[in-house]
Amino acid sequence: MKSRRQRPLADPDLTLGGRLAAAFGSLFFSVPLAALYWLLFNSQVAPFTGMSVSIAHIGVAVVAFALLSFVFPRFAPTVFGWASDLFVGIAKWW
């Protein structure tokens, strides 16, 4: 009796649906995080340097986070963790 080789199951994180879900899920973290960084920079750093960051940069940051989550669905939570830790560190120092 011949045994059939079974195909290995596809990893749900690496399928197109999993990647789209990761990109959509990243919006819950990237929008507030980008807005907080933008607000922090414009309220604390911009008055001293005379340079302000436009609101369009929030959109660019959100799109970059979504692309990162789509391309690297397992690495993106680590990046969000680093960015959150950085924000908390800045907030404690300030």
Alpha helix stretches (DSSP H) within 2-75: 16-40, 46-49, 56-71
Q: How far apart are CA 52 and CA 65, in angstroms?
A: 22
User: In this structure, is residue 56 part of a structural domain?
Assistant: yes
User: In this structure, is residue 4 part of a structural domain?
Assistant: no
Number of domains making up the chain = 1
- Amino acid, res. 51: M
User: In this structure, is residue 57 part of a structural domain?
Assistant: yes
Question: Which pLDDT does position 1 carry in this prediction?
Answer: 55
Q: How far apart are CA 35 and CA 57, in angstroms?
A: 9
Question: Which pLDDT does position 91 carry in this prediction?
Answer: 79
User: In this structure, is residue 59 part of a structural domain?
Assistant: yes
User: In this structure, is residue 84 part of a structural domain?
Assistant: yes
User: In this structure, is residue 5 part of a structural domain?
Assistant: no
User: pLDDT tens, 11-61?
Assistant: 766 788 888 888 898 888 889 988 988 888 888 888 888 888 888 988 998
User: In this structure, is residue 86 part of a structural domain?
Assistant: yes
Enclosing domain of residue 23: 16-93
User: In this structure, is residue 61 part of a structural domain?
Assistant: yes
Quote the pTM value.
0.71
The HSE-up count of residue 86 (CA atoms within 13 Å, CB side) is 11
Among 19, 20, 37, 33, smallest CA distance to 74 is for 19
Question: Which pLDDT does position 44 carry in this prediction?
Answer: 83
